[in-house]
Structure 1
């Protein structure tokens, strides 16, 4: 439990004055896995998803895998279509905390689809995963309306969602596999898409806070998000895949631990 968030208001010359303190939040204490029990590939990266097992994965703020997440043809799939045996969705995380790493994965999105990849996230009781995590955007840039929103394309695929656009924008067509990589080392973060570095930024700096203040996570719009994101990466966090209500597939998910 962190500090309290409150406002004290007074009237002075017809204006309100506010005094803000840190917002209140509670971190969940849910099971984590021993990474050393997972296999490494020839490049020394741990295989987090091998196409056949969901070992190590569970829902965000849950102890189990929501059953809209399944394995289909060697890929991890979120299914949009509701059914009797797949009624529950939610974001999916790998239950281990990472700090410095090189995360690689492949993805493909459905027509007009939207998803995202989270990292350095905390499981905050009663809050969505993106309140504490940067988001590597996954999107159909051609048909999803988010592609034309935001600023300068900063909601298109591989972008730091709502903050920095991916350039060059080299996502492949809907239904085609894209290859992505996220590198976090210290305060430096890099996004790669299909072999190109498309985004680079530095967290926990004045420049980072300026980006937050220009986004929907600003201190005025969302004080708790600003509080958590301004400190992101100071401690290890989980990685996750987003349920945005659209069909999406992930495969070949690996992570190399960096010093």
Structure 2
């Protein structure tokens, strides 16, 4: 009887040990899976799922392929590809930019799209992301809406305009970004711009900060009350498709993870 009891006790202990080891292995595997899933994707790449969903890289982190100067046939020397970023080299000349600088555009027109990218601005810096732009004027901003990029703490534009409509994430000089959630100069911000049949959405650091509708009476009134009609009387008639542009405003600004999905 004692031998049977002893045998049962040893068997129970062995079973418990195996069960604990199995549980521990399962927990370790689960933890490893969570770490793998939460690990950020390499910069300037697409995941397999993004590729299946139709996303396309506009910048590979190594070359300027696909990009050229606005109304130019080359990639200007005022920009460079450095450390996995598209870098506008600050000239200190404000909107005049560098001698061979100026805004750059991706050499394809887009109409309905979902655009994502990261940007980082230097202290006191100013830049912008244009979309639906045309090459019919001296500057792309004369034909294109702009998502503002700005050091809100230092650049004077943050206090100009109306109700903060020249701060980061805003539809420049027209609609303020609310909530205003831009990170300080020197830190990366993630943005998303969605354009679909005239409905435009700006997202900044995961939050929707601007939404508006092109070609409506409300849009026409909004533009009429801004500075744009004096610069281009036809500015409100934004095209149904156009170029995506990155602005040279004379300050250092960096872009990465630029990708788009046509809708």
Determine if the TM-score, normalized by the shorter chain, exceeds 0.5.
yes
Structure with greater Cα Rg: 2
Q: Gaps (5+ residues) in structure 2?
A: 1-44, 93-97
Residues 215 and 104 of structure 1: is their aligned pair in 2 closer, same or farther, counting only changes over 3 Å? same
Alignment partner for residue 255 of structure 1, among 217, 242, 260? 260
Q: Which residue of 2 aligns with 1:201?
A: 212
Q: CA deviation at 1:124?
A: 1.2
Alignment partner for residue 175 of structure 2, among 150, 153, 164? 164
Is contact 1:209–1:230 with CA below 8 Å preserved after alignment?
Answer: yes
Q: Which residue of 2 aligns with 1:110?
A: 122
- For 1:230 and 1:148, how far apart are their aligned partners in 2? 24
Q: TM-score, normalization: structure 2?
A: 0.77
- For 1:204 and 1:160, how far apart are their aligned partners in 2? 15
**Aligned to 1:117, what secondary structure does the other structure show?**
strand
**Aligned to 1:116, what secondary structure does the other structure show?**
strand
Runs of 4 or more, structure 1, over 2 Å off, are: 39-42
| 1:226 pairs with 2:233 | yes
Q: Which residue of 2 aligns with 1:90?
A: 102
**Aligned to 2:201, what secondary structure does the other structure show?**
strand
Q: Which has the higher helix share?
A: 2
**Aligned to 1:208, what secondary structure does the other structure show?**
helix
- For 2:225 and 2:129, how far apart are their aligned partners in 1? 21
RMSD (CA atoms): 1.5
Q: Which has the higher strand share?
A: 1
Q: Gaps (5+ residues) in structure 1?
A: 1-38
Residues 95 and 64 of structure 1: is their aligned pair in 2 closer, same or farther, counting only changes over 3 Å? same
Q: Which residue of 2 aligns with 1:246?
A: 251
Q: Which residue of 2 aligns with 1:45?
A: 55
Q: CA deviation at 1:89?
A: 0.8
Q: TM-score, normalization: structure 1?
A: 0.78
What does 1:1-259 align with in structure 2 at a 5 Å threshold? 41=47, 42-43=49-50, 44-81=54-91, 87-125=99-137, 127-218=138-229, 221-222=230-231, 225-227=232-234, 229-234=235-240, 236-258=241-263
**How many corresponding residue pairs?**
210
- For 1:230 and 1:165, how far apart are their aligned partners in 2? 18
More divergent stretch after superposition (39-48 vs 67-76): 39-48
